Structure 1
């Protein structure tokens, strides 16, 4: 399979990846929601089931079309335990004071449902695959930006449940976030790192603001641009500040 992959042209590889993204999107946005809606399940359970099925679709399509390897071993066991402890403490601290424990539970659920399938899709499959597709000394940077753009573009689908303005603000903010998550995946060599960061951010936002999108005022777009820029600057510092080659890149070169 790997030999056949290398024998394909760059255009052929991009075509297969594009088909994978389109097919996953159609199943995620149309087929899965229609199927779950026809069953008539409660809202919270429907969302959870949809995300679980989405993760299964991503893994299944990847196995059939791309066979992109997922990288988990970049983080040591001690690092994983440390991150888990820190996230647990953070979840508890966010529940103390003015925030209700029910909102904490919602935050944990939303954080997991967003982080696991989205990181598997856009960092695990798309970014990892694009690094194999592109060539040249700038291939990693190009792959990082393309996967980040696709990640942000995927959030346009949220316009079905919120205003166009709020969706625009979300897409702008996600551009910086996707860049940061991609850099953490590259530098850590572990999908767990980007999943943990994604979970922590979504959990915090949900506990602070609730599940529904906040009101669309004229300052929201400005704050989204600022937050996105901060994410981008941190990503640049992490990417440029390391003195060793990204583990994910080194491993991908072995294919």
Structure 2
């Protein structure tokens, strides 16, 4: 595999490689396959947008897993190191929120959007990229600044990757989304580092998108202009998200469950 053939000092190049290849396959190769198959079965993706979106995301998960196997070979940790009451309570709260909103008019689309956003993105950006960056950064030292730097790098990559939405959104709105995603990525990465299981950031990511879609619904495109006050509001969120993320990983750093797992690989 590619990871085994590249010397340690050059393994950083695997991150842009997997991102670029995933982007090329998902957004340039697969659309031609979809076009052929959809034409064969007289399927109109415009009329059945959400069905198409689900197909796209399912294929994305398969592509991400295969690319990880061929290029990076990063183990994704699902099993918790130990049972923590706090994480279990959080998962129960997420489940409760879903159940009490079941009669909302946007429930099923929110449920779908939450799932198809959380699964591929958490596998890619926390399960693979964050863990791989952490492994590279903490080979010689597990000092806290290396953990924080790894978290920031993965969050920026996660945020920047949202520029792929430019095909259906304005640049200003997409940029707003990119910054928000990067800030959210800090928290998602922090809970993966602390919990040692991808299930927790998946649940957090799911409930975030679920609630946003539940309240606002979902549109296929967004070309609205961004007001200056929206940037001010976002700046406040960035500060809060970043502070929360740093508090999570700096609270009892020896209890960051992901690091021992990476060491044992």
Q: Under a length normalisation based on structure 1, what TM-score does the superposition of the two structures give? A: 0.88
**2 CA distance for matches of 1:147 and 1:3?**
19
* Contact kept in structure 2, 1:183 and 1:239, CA below 8 Å: yes
Give 2:166's match in structure 1, choosing from 144, 159, 162: 159
Can you give the 5+ residue segments of structure 2 that lack an aligned partner in the other structure? none
Shift of 1:91: 1.8
Q: After the TM superposition, which residues 153-232 of structure 1 pair with which residues of structure 2 at under 5 Å, given as runs?
A: 153-212=160-219, 213=222, 215-218=224-227, 219-232=229-242
Q: After the TM superposition, which residues 90-129 of structure 1 pair with which residues of structure 2 at under 5 Å, given as runs?
A: 90-95=97-102, 100-101=104-105, 103-129=106-132
Q: Under a length normalisation based on structure 2, what TM-score does the superposition of the two structures give? A: 0.85
Which segment drifts farther, 131-140 or 173-182?
A: 131-140
- Structure 1 residue 145 corresponds to structure 2 residue 152: yes
**2 CA distance for matches of 1:31 and 1:81?**
40
Partner of 1:250: 260
**1 CA distance for matches of 2:156 and 2:118?**
17
**1 CA distance for matches of 2:50 and 2:3?**
44
**1 CA distance for matches of 2:61 and 2:3?**
27
Cα deviation 1:137-159 (Å, max 9, x = unaligned) = 34322221111111001101111
- Structure 1 residue 57 corresponds to structure 2 residue 63: yes
Q: How many pairs align?
A: 249
Q: Helix, strand or coil: the match of 1:207? A: helix
Q: Helix, strand or coil: the match of 1:142? A: helix
Q: Provide the aligned C-alpha RMSD in A.
A: 2.5
CA 1:231–1:37: 2 relative to 1, 3 Å = farther
CA 1:240–1:214: 2 relative to 1, 3 Å = farther
Give 1:89's match in structure 2, choosing from 84, 91, 96: 96
Shift of 1:84: 4.3
**1 CA distance for matches of 2:245 and 2:223?**
26
CA 1:2–1:36: 2 relative to 1, 3 Å = closer
Partner of 1:26: 24
Can you give the 5+ residue segments of structure 1 that lack an aligned partner in the other structure? none
Q: Helix, strand or coil: the match of 1:72? A: coil
- Structure 1 residue 44 corresponds to structure 2 residue 50: yes
Shift of 1:3: 10
**2 CA distance for matches of 1:172 and 1:206?**
19
